[in-house]
Structure 1
Amino acid sequence: MHKLKFAIAGCGFLGNIVADAWRQGLLADYELVGCFGRNAASTAALADKNACQPCATLDELLALRPDYVVEAASPGLLRDIAQPTLSAGANLIVLSIGAFADADFLSQIETLARTTGRRVHLASGAIGGFDVLRTAALMSAIDAGIRTEKGPASLRGTPIFNEELLTASAPSEVFSGNARDAIGLFPTKVNVSVATALATAGVAATQVSINSVPGFLGDDHRIEVRGEEVHVVVDTYSRTSAIAGWSVVALMRNLAAPIAFG
């Protein structure tokens, strides 16, 4: 049986989840041909564990002629690899959806995908329900929003973090605005907000509320879309970010399945 070739860009926690799932036989329709990351040691470790080619550059990765490149790193890496990947004839599976809050970048990639005949697949990451969210957006004008609860420690390294959050006794809202503003402040933490926005009302019209909850572990995302004839609520809790990596595995299985969802 002919197998689809895929490669991984980003050899950290999420990239290893995808590779491990392949090695365990959960992606039987695929062959993992190579990996590429900005950390040479992590790239070598993933390649050695999965008997694939470690690549020092993107060009080296694309020379393996993958049918799919899985981006499992960051919005910055996605910006670097998206255009070369599509131009090389590979399809792209994206986890760092936040990069598409930039309307110009989104337009460039959409145009290039049409020109090359390739596709960009947005993994659901830590949320789901894209099918019903997109359906609701087609039915009528909608109001869309997402409320996220996080533990205070997970906000370290962001502009809104302060030590008082660690000793607070009650939850507090630390950000309120639209999805475009949110990704500007938290480039690696609100991909789900941009994904929600792209599926519904757009990054300027989708409202985002981020809340610090003392003692909370993981992320809880509550998406609400309301229109004249429809009201959709999608609530997803995940203890770790592993769900994002597994969403790629689910997407790849669906892409290769003879009977697919959605």
Structure 2
Amino acid sequence: MNIGLVGSGAIGQYLLKNINGSSNGDLNITSVFVRNYDKYKHLEKEYNVELFTDLNEFLAADTDIIVEAANVETVKALLPEIIKEKDTMLISIGALADEALLKTVSGENNKTLHLPSGGIGGMDLVQNARALGNLDTVTLTTRKPAPSLIDEPVDAETVVFEGKAKDAIDKFPKNMNISIILSLAGVGIDKTNVVLIADPKAELNKHTINISGSFGDAEFTISSNPLPENPKTSSLAALSVYATLERLAENVKIG
């Protein structure tokens, strides 16, 4: 599978290292779209990729899927054009809180948009529970180290947000991508409950998901170590992108 990569931040570099920098015969990043060629030209020799600064030329390259590893602003600017031409995998899922953008990229004439689960899991369970209207409530409770959310020191857990996913991503755009993937898998951004807690004792991000409906109920908790190359990025978020690409290249599908 030939992959085109948009962006070369922490997850982009992770993918280059673990796909092109290892002996993975099924996956190969062949092209990378960047804004600044001189800044990233070393990637061409280091990972045997071709760099592009022109979007049309990038989309014309021989790739099977485009992986976005940039940011919300880039997604809003480029995704409507990319999805017309290529299957796409989105990392900056928070961009889809924009209902107009979601409607645009969901158009029937577009290619397939793949959304990895990022720093959480259990999206198969949430989607199964949603089938035939069997899912009623979804709540995401996220605990993060206090300094990552608030400036002043605190001695006890402090709720910094409690409300719906739609408002959570507006107020905490760098912290609430996961609330959007959960909303899309479940009951939507207007109905998904979100609680964000600044915890002075926390060392890792912890996400607890509670769902209930006529199917029953479920609770699961995920604690993820940071990516060694970038402590602000969840290692599970990077792994979810790599693993989703692997599954796309396999003949046997689970779930």
- Give the TM-score taking structure 2 as reference length: 0.91
Residues 118-133 of structure 1: matches in 2 within 5 Å? 118-133=111-126
Q: C-alpha separation between the residues in 2 aligned to 1:37 and 1:67?
A: 19
The Cα of 1:17 is off from its aligned counterpart by 1.1
1:125, CA displacement in angstroms?
0.6
Q: Is the 8 A contact 2:135 2:186 kept in 1?
A: no
Q: What SS class does the counterpart of residue 115 from structure 1 fall into?
A: coil
Runs of 4+ in 1 over 6 A off after TM superposition: none
1:96 equivalent to 2:100? Answer: no
Q: Secondary structure at the match of 1:196?
A: helix
Secondary structure (helix, strand or coil) at the match of 2:155 reads coil
1:205 is paired with a residue whose SS is coil
Q: Shift of the alpha carbon at 1:237?
A: 0.7
Q: How does 1:37-48 map to 2 (within 5 A)?
A: 37-40=34-37, 43-48=40-45
CA separation of 1:146 and 1:45: change in aligned 2, threshold 3 A: farther
Distance in structure 1 (CA, Å) of the matches to 2:43 and 2:205: 27
Match of 2:139 in 1: 145
> RMSD of the alignment, in Å?
1.7
Opposite residue 101 of structure 1, the aligned amino acid is A
Q: Which amino acid aligns with 1:142?
A: D
Aligned residues: 247
Partner of 2:230: none
Instruction: Give the number of the structure with larger relative contact order, counting CA–CA contacts within 8 Å between residues 6 or more apart.
Output: 1
Name the structure 2 match of 1:106. Answer: 102
- Do the aligned partners of residues 261 and 43 (structure 1) sit closer, same or farther apart at CA in structure 2, a change above 3 Å counting? farther
Q: Runs of 5+ in structure 1 lacking a partner?
A: 156-160
Q: Residue 135 in 1 paired to residue 132 in 2?
A: no
Mapped partners of 1:65, 1:79: distance in 2: 24
2:242 pairs, out of 249, 254, 260, with 249
How far residue 74 of structure 1 moved from its aligned partner, in angstroms, is 1.2
Write the distance in 1 (CA, Å) between the matches of 2:127 and 2:23: 28
Who is 2:20 aligned against? 23
Q: 2: distance between equivalents of 1:245 and 1:26?
A: 18
Q: Secondary structure at the match of 1:147?
A: strand
> Partners of 2:26 and 2:147 in 1: how far apart?
40
Question: What per-residue deviation string (whole Å, max 9, x for no partner) do you get for residues 119-163 of structure 1?
Answer: 0000111011111110111251411110001112222xxxxx3x3
Is the CA contact 2:97–2:166 (under 8 Å) kept in the aligned structure 1?
Answer: yes
Alpha-carbon distance, 1:243 to partner: 1.8
Q: What's the counterpart of residue 215 of structure 2?
A: 229
Q: Closer, same or farther in 2 for the Cα pair 1:87/1:228, shift >3 Å?
A: closer
Name the CA shift for 1:218/1:45 in 2 (closer, same or farther; >3 Å).
farther
* 1:41 shift after superposition: 5.2
1:11 and 1:42 in contact (8 A); partners too: no
Tell me the equivalent position of 2:204: 218
CA separation in 2, counterparts of 1:188 and 1:82? 19
